[in-house]
Structure 1
Amino acid sequence: MLYGIAAATAALLLTAVLAAALRAPALRAGILDRRRQRPLPLLGGLAVVAVTCLVAGMGQWSRVAPLGEGVGELLTAAAAIAALGLVADVWRLRARVLAAGTAVAAVWVVPYDDTGLPGGLLAVGWIVLTTLAFRGLDHADGLAGTVGVITAFGVGACAAAEVMDGLAVLLSVVAAALTGFLMHNWHPARIGLGACGSLFTGFVLSSAVVFTRAGYALGPSAAVVFCLGAVAVADALLVVLARTTARRPLLRRGPDHLAHRLRRLGLTPPGSVVLLGAASFSSVLVGVLVHAGWTGEGAALWVGGAVVVAVVALVLLRMPVQQPPRTASTQVSGHLRVRSG
């Protein structure tokens, strides 16, 4: 218990310092997110990954807080996914490459002895979906970090209930590292999580959920994992439905995520993150209660219903996606067409 508190405190402080130190190198190297109104350096995720691996690795090496069976492999696979994400931040890899890499890592970490082959394959699909969906949450200042912290605490509570002490410590370190990162990522953000940090966080959290539910029946497990990842799934579902109905390419980036639409409804950037954070807390709490047996899996239907209503409502509103500003040449050609007509 005391080591967990000390490890989380160290992770928070180290990440806050390292994220601040990596901002200038990211600017000089041009590792930026240019989708926003102002370019945002993207090495904040590297700080989260490096500190998490360092602190958790020290506990494993010193045997003060061993990670436990399979958790070391999980952290290694997550670090490999983070490295792939860092490459994507620097050289812009295609989404299918990230999906394939995540699938390979997920196949390696799933505990098939406890899940069985059919359950293991479903777990691989869930890890890939959640990891990529979590990357999609990195579209607004503070959103991915906020949802990540809340989810890490929820999954950590599930791990503690299963007496998976090493996994619980790892999740507390992840939550603390994300909290240190949020000191620089809250609106207006000074550094971003990037694919490196968002893929790492999503992979660790989704894999940890699989570990805590391995051996349980499929129905209650599906309810728990859905509740713990409801906000990320809702965001991904909204994007898919909105782009499909508008006949836009699914993999082309655009301002049509949850936070974008909430801002167009009048919320401020911090207000939209607080609202989605509250939604994440509510769904994660339901997931923890279902896992602990304090309520039935039917409670997850309320979370699912809320996700469906919110997504359908935002899609039916048909809020226009902001188009890029017209260039001078486009304006001139437009005037010429009007005059010629």
Structure 2
Amino acid sequence: MLYGIAAATTALLLTAVLAALLRVPARRLGLVERRQRQRRVPVSGGLAVVLVTSLVAVAGDRTGWAPLGDGVGRLLVAAAAVAGLGLVADVSRLKTSILVVGTAVAAACVMPYGDLGVLGGLLGAGWVTFAALALRSLDHADGLAGTVGLVTAFGVGACVAAELLDGLAVLLSVLAAALTGFLLHNWPPARAALGACGSLFAGFLLGAGGVYARVGHDPLESAGVLFALVVLGAADTLLVVLSRRLAGRPLLRGAPDHLAHRLRRLGITAQGAVVLLGLLASCGVLAGVLVHIGRLGAQAPLWGAGVVAVIVLGLLRVPVQVPRRPSHTVVRQPGSPTSTQVREPLRVRNG
């Protein structure tokens, strides 16, 4: 108990300090993402979350104060590998398909096949991949991915604690504290972002934690619980896929058509959108936890799915401004031959 409090406090403070220290080098190295009004936000916050979470968790394991166990240790290594792949994506343009395959392979390496079976393990790996990419998708707005990740970490942590998975519970509590320290820099207007490195790392741990917590439970009920825990990511993904399919746009081309973008189009402030979406995520997480511990019936996530469907269908009617592709414009200058100037549109994050 005392170690958990000390570890969480340390993780919060270290992440807040490290995220601030990494902002300047990130800007100099060009590790930034453009957001609205052409603000350049360093993606150093994600690296701070990964480093601090790993450091504090390993320190607790090595000192014997909070042993992670072999399974959780391998999970942390796999999450760190996924974070490394995300860091490569932050530094250079990396195809989304590579991120998907890399995350899926890492997830497949840490599934408890002895308890889930081969098919169950593969389905679990697919779920972990979806959870990681869904959290990455939520990093399109200041404060959103950090808030949702924090809320989900508390919920998944409660589920694994109920299953007496102490090592995993400690790891998730450290992650929650690190995300809290990160939010000090990520709240709108953000001074640091998670980037692919931090969002894939956090999403991977949260998705895997949910799968581990549901080992031995009814598969259909487990599907409902896992959906409830990541309900906001599922809603955002569904909204984006439907929107782009209906408009005939490529699924992997970024556009301001996510949840927060559409709420901003309705006149809601950046802070208000994060609070509103954070409350929605909290309701889903709470429902998932209550179903997991038997305080709610297994049909409760179905009501959540209905709410998500209503929200998605409603926000589909909100118009979005899709950035145009680069166009070549002929510019004539007095006394000089005709030249061609390429006008680049503002890069929109997180397809």
Which TM class, normalised by the smaller chain length?
over 0.9
Q: Partners of 1:289 and 1:12 in 2: how far apart? A: 27
- CA distance, structure 2, for counterparts of residue 286 and residue 117 of structure 1: 29
What residue is the counterpart of 1:61 in the other structure? 62
Q: Report the Cα distance in structure 2 between the residues aligned to 1:86 and 1:22, rounded to whole angstroms.
A: 14
**Aligned counterparts of 1:305 and 1:115: Cα–Cα separation in 2:** 29
Answer yes or no: is 1:10 the counterpart of 2:19.
no
Report the AA paired with residue 165 of structure 1.
D
- Shift of residue 41 of structure 1? 0.8
Letter matched to residue 66 of structure 1: P
Q: Counterpart of 1:313?
A: 314
Q: Does 1:228 align with 2:229?
A: yes
Give me the CA root mean square deviation.
1.6
Instruction: Label 1:75 to 1:102 Cα distance change in 2 as closer, same or farther (>3 A).
Output: same
| Residue number in structure 2 paired with 1:338 | none
| Structure-1 residue corresponding to 2:335 | none
Shift of 1:326: 9.7
Aligned residue in 1 for 2:148: 147
1:80 deviation in Å? 0.3
Give the letter aligned to residue 161 of structure 1: A
SS at match of 1:138: helix
1:101 aligns with 2:94: no
Q: Describe how 1:67-216 pairs up with structure 2 within 5 A.
A: 67-216=68-217
- TM-score, structure 1 normalization: 0.94
Distance 2:304 2:231 in 1: 8
Question: Shift in Å at residue 35 of structure 1?
Answer: 4.6
Aligned 8 A contact 1:160 1:168 in 2:
yes
Number of residue-to-residue matches in the alignment: 331
Structure 1 position 197, deviation (Å): 0.2
Residue 129 of structure 1 and its aligned partner are, at CA, apart by 1.1
Partners of 2:19 and 2:35 in 1: CA distance: 21
The Cα offsets for residues 251-281 of structure 1, whole Å up to 9 and x where unpaired, read as 0011000000010011000100000000000
Query: Does the 8 Å contact 1:68/1:164 carry over to 2?
Result: no
The residue aligned with 2:323 is: 323
CA contact (8 A) 1:11 1:177 kept: yes
TM-score (normalizing by structure 2): 0.91
Distance 1:297 1:122 in 2: 20
Aligned equivalent of 1:335 = none
Separation in structure 1 between the aligned mates of residue 264 and residue 326 of structure 2, nearest angstrom: 22
What is the CA distance between 1:318 and its match in structure 2? 4.5
Letter in 2 for 1:321: Q
SS in 2 for 1:33: strand
Partner of 2:346: none
Partner of 1:48: 49
Q: Which amino acid aligns with 2:16?
A: A
CA contact (8 A) 2:147 2:278 kept: yes
CA contact (8 A) 2:79 2:205 kept: yes
Contact kept, 8 Å, 1:41 with 1:192, in 2: the verdict is yes
**Equivalent residue number for residue 259 of structure 2:** 258
Structure 1 stretch displaced more, 61-70 or 201-210: 61-70
Q: Specify whether residues 331 and 245 from structure 1 end up closer, same or farther in structure 2 by C-alpha distance, changes over 3 A only.
A: farther
Deviations 1:139-158 (A, max 9, x none): 00000000000000000001
| Residues 158-216 of structure 1, C-alpha deviations (whole Å, 9 max, x = no match) | 11111111111100100000000000010111111100000001000000101100111
State the partner residue of 2:27: 27
1-structure distance, mates of 2:120, 2:231:
20
**Do the aligned residues in 1 keep the contact of 2:46 with 2:196 (CA within 8 Å)?**
yes
How many Å separate the matches in 1 of 2:19 and 2:143?
14
Q: Which residue of 2 aligns with 1:239?
A: 240
TM-superposition CA deviations, 1:227-268 (whole Å, max 9, x none): 001001110111100000000000001100000001001100
How far apart, in 2, do the equivalents of 1:323 and 1:66 lie? Answer: 49
Structure 1, unmatched stretches of 5+, are: 333-341
In the TM superposition, residue 217 of structure 1 has moved relative to its aligned partner by 1.3
- Give, in whole Å, the separation in 2 of the partners of 1:93 and 1:243: 21
In structure 2, the CA distance between the partners of 1:125 and 1:330, relative to structure 1 (3 Å rule), is farther
Q: CA deviation at 1:309?
A: 1.0
- What secondary structure does 1:44 align onto? helix
Q: Which residue does the alignment assign to 1:336?
A: none
After superposition, the C-alpha distances for 1:100-124 in whole angstroms (9 at most, x for unaligned) are 1001101001111111122111111
Residue 321 of structure 1 and its aligned partner are, at CA, apart by 2.2
Higher-helix-fraction structure: 1
- Is the 8 Å Cα contact of residues 256 and 320 (structure 2) preserved in structure 1? no
Give distance in 2, aligned partners of 1:234 and 1:321.
20
